[in-house]
Structure formats: structure tokens, C-alpha cells
Amino acid sequence: MKEFKIISKEYISKHQYFTARKDGYETPTGKIVDPYFVVELPVSVCALAITQQNEVILVEQYRHPIHQKILEIPGGFMDEGEDPQQAIARELLEETGYSFEQYIALGKTAANPGVLDNFTYLFLATGGKKTAEQELDANEEITLHFKALEEVRLLLKEHHIVQAMHALCMFYAFQYLDKKLG
């Protein structure tokens, strides 16, 4: 059986956080799709992070593309050579100052595979303990919020979590916790 075949690839922008290219490809039936635009992003991670006091750590930050401050769960891009669990442990420590006893992999997902080429690895982190101060990137201004599990579940249910990958991670984390406790 014939495969999909890339017939052209031209970079429009090459930046650490925004690389865009114009591809052309041929389908197995011989149809030519040209141009097809792709945004390349690093692989990312996020986690529903629960402290030893059974509080969820949410981060609030301004997201310029939507011109809003929003509540999210901690996460970010993986560094070269990291595996997903190393990346989420690093991101949690940098963004929150907390280290966690356990990291439970919940899966991976693609935010918008029609345009974006990356995956996001989803985690539940438990047993969080403050071990450091925040070490934010130069462009980050993050406020931490500590909320009860049921309050966070309500925020998710009432559509107050608008970052899609984070909402999905939270959904899977609550599903995992319900199964474990049920």
C-alpha cells in the first residue's frame, strides 16, 4: 500500500518557540496537497499537581494571544534529552517550587494535529512538598493558587479552565483519582 509522501518542505519562520513551514505532500491515492502549513513546537508536559496537604496547585498567568489571565495547571516544554517524567518534575519545581513523591503518567495528546506537530504528556503528581523558590523564565509571571480538589473539579466542570490540554489532563487525573478512591 502506498504511503503519504512529503514532496516539499520550506521553512517560513525558525524560532525556538515558533517554527512554521509550508509543506506539500502526496496522499496514497495520488492527490497532491500543496501548500499545507505546519507549526512546529517542542513536546510539552503538564500535571494536575497535588500537595501533601491535598491541595491542587494552579498557576495564573497572562496569555497574550487571548489577552487574558487564566488559571492553568503547571507545565511547559521538554528540554533536549529529557524524558516526559524528568520534564514535568523540572517544570513543577521551576514554576511552583514543589517537588513530588509520585508522578503518574495519564497519557499523551495532540492539541491541534491539523496545524501543530507536537504532543503533550499528561501527568498526575502527588505528595508535593515545597523544596525551593520559583525559578521562572524571563517571560513568565506566575501567581500560585492552592485549592481543594473539589473546588478544582468544579472549576473544570464550570468551564473556568480554558487551556484545552490542561482541561484534558485534569479530566484524566480526576478519572484516575475516582477509580483509585472508588
What are the extents of the domains in the chain?
5-40, 44-181
Q: pLDDT band for position 174 (50/70/90)?
A: very high
Residue 36 near residue 25, CB atoms below 8 Å: yes
Q: Compute CA 175 distance to the chain's CA centroid, rounded to the nearest angstrom.
A: 18
Q: pLDDT band for position 1 (50/70/90)?
A: low
What's the mean pLDDT when you consider all of the chain? 95
Q: Which fold has domain 44-181?
A: Nucleoside Triphosphate Pyrophosphohydrolase (3.90.79)
Which candidate, 136, 144, 108, places its Cα nearest to that of 123?
A: 108
Convert the pLDDT of each residue in 121-166 to its tens digit: 999 999 999 999 999 888 889 999 999 999 999 999 999 999 999 9
Q: Above pLDDT 70, what percent of the chain?
A: 99
Residue 177 near residue 124, CB atoms below 8 Å: yes
C-alpha cell at 106: 495519564
Q: pLDDT band for position 103 (50/70/90)?
A: very high
Residue 120 near residue 44, CB atoms below 8 Å: yes
> Any idea which residue has 500543496 for its cell?
34
